[in-house]
Amino acid sequence: MKKNRLLPYILPLMAIPALVISIALKNPTPADGAGLTLPSGFDANIVADNLGSARHIAITKQGDIYVKLNRAKNGKGILYLHQTGDKATVVNGFGNYAGTGMYIKDGYLYASSNEDVYRYKLNDKGEVINPNQPERIVVGLLNRREHESKSVVLDNNGNIYVNVGAYSNSCQEKDRQKGSMGRKGCPILDSAGGIWEFKADKPDQHYGDGIHYAKGLRNVVGLDWNQQDNQLFVMQHGRDQLHDLFPDLYTTQQSAIEPAECLYAVKEGDNAGWPYIYYDQEKHEKILAPEYGGDGKKTAGEGTIDPEVAFPGHLAPDGLLFYTGNQFPERYKNGAFIAFHGSWNRAPEPQAGYFVVFQPFKDGKPDGKWEVFADGFAGTQAQKESGNAVHRPCGLAQGPDGSLYVTDDNKGTIYKISYKK
Partner 1 sequence: MKFIKSAFILLFLVIACSNLKAQVKHSSKSIKSHLALSIANGKVVYTQNCASCHQVDGHGVQNMNPPLIQTSYVLGDKTKLIKIILNGFNEDVEINGNTYSNTMASHDFLKDKEIADVLTYIRHSFGNKASAVSVAMVKSVRAAKK
Q: Which residues bind partner 1 (CB under 8 A)?
A: 53, 70-71, 145-146, 148, 168-169, 174-178, 180, 241, 243-244, 344-345, 347-348, 386-388, 392, 409-410
- Residue 304 CB, shortest distance to partner 1, in Å, is 25
> CB pairs under 8 A, 24+ apart, for 371-375?
373/38, 373/39, 373/337, 374/36, 374/37, 374/38, 374/42, 374/44, 374/406, 374/415, 374/417, 375/36, 375/37
Residue 205 or residue 345: which is nearer to partner 1 going by CB?
A: 345
Residue 159 or residue 170: which is nearer to partner 1 going by CB?
A: 170
Residue 77 or residue 387: which is nearer to partner 1 going by CB?
A: 387
- Residue 268 CB, shortest distance to partner 1, in Å, is 30
- Residue 385 CB, shortest distance to partner 1, in Å, is 10
Residue 286 or residue 392: which is nearer to partner 1 going by CB?
A: 392
- Residue 409 CB, shortest distance to partner 1, in Å, is 8
Residue 115 or residue 175: which is nearer to partner 1 going by CB?
A: 175
- Residue 139 CB, shortest distance to partner 1, in Å, is 21
The amino acid present at 34, given as its one-letter code, is A
Q: What is the 3-state secondary structure (H, E, C) of the chain?
A: CHHHHHHHHHHHHHHHHHHHHHHHHHCCCECCCCCCECCCCEEEEEEECCCCCEEEEEECCCCCEEEEEEEEECCEEEEEEEEECCEEEEEEEECCCCCCCEEEECCEEEEECCCCEEEEEECCCCCECCCCCCEEEECCCCCCCCCCCCCEEECCCCEEEEEECCCCCCCECCCCCCCCCECCCCHHHHCCCEEEEEECCCCCECHHHCEEEEECCCCEEEEEEECCCCEEEEEECCCCCHHHHCCCCCCHHHHHHCCCEEEEEECCCEECCCCCEEEECCCCEEEECHHHCCCCCCECCCCCCCCCEEECCCCCEEEEEECCCCCCCHHHCCCEEEEECCCCCCCCCCCCCCEEEEECEECCEECCCCEEEEECCCCCHHHHHCCCCCCCEEEEEECCCCCEEEEECCCCEEEEEEECC
- Residue 276 CB, shortest distance to partner 1, in Å, is 20
- Peptide bond between residue 203 and the one before it cis (omega within 30 degrees of 0): no
- Residue 247 CB, shortest distance to partner 1, in Å, is 8
Residue 321 or residue 394: which is nearer to partner 1 going by CB?
A: 394
- Residue 182 CB, shortest distance to partner 1, in Å, is 14
Residue 127 or residue 408: which is nearer to partner 1 going by CB?
A: 408
Residue 87 or residue 178: which is nearer to partner 1 going by CB?
A: 178
Residue 158 or residue 179: which is nearer to partner 1 going by CB?
A: 179
The amino acid present at 144, given as its one-letter code, is R
- Residue 250 CB, shortest distance to partner 1, in Å, is 12
Q: Is 49 exposed, middle or buried (0-12, 13-18, 19+ CB in 10 A)?
A: middle
- Residue 143 CB, shortest distance to partner 1, in Å, is 9
Residue 165 or residue 399: which is nearer to partner 1 going by CB?
A: 165
